[in-house]
Amino acid sequence: MQAIVMANTILKTMWLNNIDVTPLKLQKMLYYIQGFCLKENCKISMDADFEKWHHGPVIKDIYEIFKKYASNNIEELEEGNLNKAYTFDIKTNPHFQKILENVIGAYGKIEALVLSHMTHEHEAWKKVKDGEIIKKALIKTTFQNLDYIY
């Protein structure tokens, strides 16, 4: 799945749950959803890679799209390089829907900077240098030892 479609799907779902989302929080939610999708061998995962940045894992293209909001809440879905702001119908894949709902339930109300600090404790964060791509295999290995927190 394209990262912008995943980002829009996360935004839409979080807004339905009355949760505000900043660009930083969106990046962390993308990371946690990708991690649990890889751990649970979900057929839905993103085609984009995360890079190690100061505030945690970041998908650069998503950063570029939403940076206009700075530390403010995102107000609308974005098109990215598509001609429409697409979302994924989560009801068509119950496995992905469960992961998305679990991640939002576990991490959605945690402040963005706290989520950022939490990612700094992950093996996937510790094993790469600043600016490097965090390989999906490393993210999967990291999440093998994580459970949803509530």
Structure pTM? Answer: 0.93
Whether residue 110 lies inside any domain: the answer is yes
Query: With bands split at pLDDT 50, 70 and 90, how would you rate the model's confidence at 19?
Result: very high
Whether residue 21 lies inside any domain: the answer is yes
How many distinct structural domains can be found in the chain?
Answer: 1
- Got the DSSP string for 79-114? -TTSSS-----GGG-HHHHHHHHHHHHHHTTS-HHH
Q: Which domain holds residue 56?
A: 3-144
Whether residue 150 lies inside any domain: the answer is no
Whether residue 149 lies inside any domain: the answer is no
Reported as a single tens digit per residue, the pLDDT across 57-68 is: 999 999 999 999
| CA 73, chain centre distance (Å) | 16
Residues 6+ apart with CB under 8 A from 84: none
Decide: 77 and 87 in contact? Cβ < 8 Å.
Answer: yes
Whether residue 36 lies inside any domain: the answer is yes
